[in-house]
Structure 1
């Protein structure tokens, strides 16, 4: 399930923008991600399970925290200047500095490997805009969400099949694609789309290209991800639909993402939450994430406890 969930300073041509986004793609990886990841590939000692763990103290002593990312715009990626950025990393930079940890180091991996990598101590925190779901709450503990998100589609220019939600895909028999481990796959299946008929692609740029080339009719992702990739590429053949709320069993299913921690590390999670709540209350959180396409509509007061129980 996703978390899918960009910002680009732009290039002189659409081709240039596409190339820039490709270089940020985890699955097309490359030297930039590898170089960053090399700094944080060693394992760390396990957290002391007593009294909420001692990881925060160790991170303060080390002066750095390793963040697991999935190379996905806008949630966490390396930009064309080799800088580590994205919605989640920029929040993490602020929070960890206030917690006394000066540096953040990215450790790139595939999205589906984020929780296994965290549990295997390949990095300290998942910083990838990961959706908080009851299933994931059985494996990790989450901060409160820093955003909530609706879905949107990439469709051919003019939206010839009139696709506005997953029920329209069922109604028309449109060919659907989504991203690797995206929550949108589950939403589509819940609406009646056969999972075997969904094309799974590496990321939103691959989805845009598939729609432009007519290989699929629609690509499903989160509204920020979908709208940003269409805008950044200046696509003349595709467009993004208006946001809509996915439903499961007839009820709205809230997609909200946060930071994940190993279950023993409650002290670090609680300290992180305290700073995050202060950022929400002051409006600083929105100022930090606005450059990545987030708006007031994506802000939320939901808690991880509520999402884990839903």
Structure 2
């Protein structure tokens, strides 16, 4: 997983600059046509996206969920599925815009992009603000700890039971919500900017563990043998993600869900998930309605 940045902390100006560059690299389209955002906001997202040939998508550059290569090509489990479903809808491609997780929903509702496909896990607070598609992935959580896990941290409960423990977490992420729901005090939370800085916080003894999705940590561990990854935490809530749309784009969401359901029945869906390390069987029978009940 090379250069993970799950909760990328780019400043606003940096996000705009990188987003514009990635948009051009990813699709070959230089800009959104005049009026595109306004038409999308008016409920014509499908027509707008088909006419302009792409859909603007917020991503985070956190493999295996999302990834941006050196030449700007956007991939990862979520964008690859989104691109495939969009093609079924007559939308030629997607444009990736890198943005911090905490800015994704505000940016969506401000019409800065049309959809979020970034491993933005479903939970009650998010589901009240956006319209999620049915799930594409289902995920578990783990800790990155020093080799040997010297403090034996294997659960969320362990953090609440020991106020001396410090847990690295990405601001705006699902994991921060887990700690807040568990009433982990702020002084125990070490805020980091991305996956690599979370690992460095653990290795430098600024944090006792780093909470992140199991797959993200395992991918980081492929390039760094200086820490270990725990088994999936049994007391962390199960969650998952799909594409997130503005609530005003309910007609697009319905069309997307219809094509997503058909796409899930094809071999290509399973191939995409398997390529990025996910088990397509885990998604079967899981609904957005279920995952939106997750507290946080």
Shorter chain as normaliser: what TM range?
0.7 to 0.9
Task: State yes or no: 1:35 paired with 2:21.
Answer: yes
Deviation readout 1:47-86 (Å, 9 max, x if unpaired): 476xxx3211221111111111123222223113432111
Q: Which residue of 2 aligns with 1:200?
A: 191
Quote the offset at 1:37 in angstroms.
4.2
SS in 2 for 1:112: helix
Mapping 1:1-310, distance limit 5 Å = 7-8=1-2, 21=3, 26-27=8-9, 33-37=19-23, 39-40=30-31, 44-47=37-40, 53-172=43-162, 173-231=164-222, 233-235=223-225, 237-247=226-236, 253-296=237-280, 298-309=282-293
* Mapped contact 1:210–1:216 kept (Cα < 8 A): yes
Relative to the length of structure 2, the TM-score reads 0.85
Q: Give the RMSD, CA atoms, in angstroms.
A: 2.5
Residue 242 and residue 141 in structure 1: after superposition, are their counterparts in 2 closer, same or farther (change >3 A)? Answer: same
Quote the offset at 1:93 in angstroms.
1.2
SS in 2 for 1:208: helix
Quote the offset at 1:25 in angstroms.
7.9
* Mapped contact 1:182–1:221 kept (Cα < 8 A): no
Aligned length: 282
In terms of mean alpha carbon deviation, does 185-194 or 117-126 score higher? 185-194
Residue 48 and residue 65 in structure 1: after superposition, are their counterparts in 2 closer, same or farther (change >3 A)? Answer: closer
Deviation readout 1:113-139 (Å, 9 max, x if unpaired): 111111111111111121122211221
Relative to the length of structure 1, the TM-score reads 0.82
Distance in 2, Cα, partners of 1:57 & 1:127: 20
* Mapped contact 2:140–2:232 kept (Cα < 8 A): yes
In terms of mean alpha carbon deviation, does 155-164 or 263-272 score higher? 263-272
Deviation readout 1:254-291 (Å, 9 max, x if unpaired): 31111111112112111211222223233532311222
Structure 2, unpaired ranges of 5+: 25-29
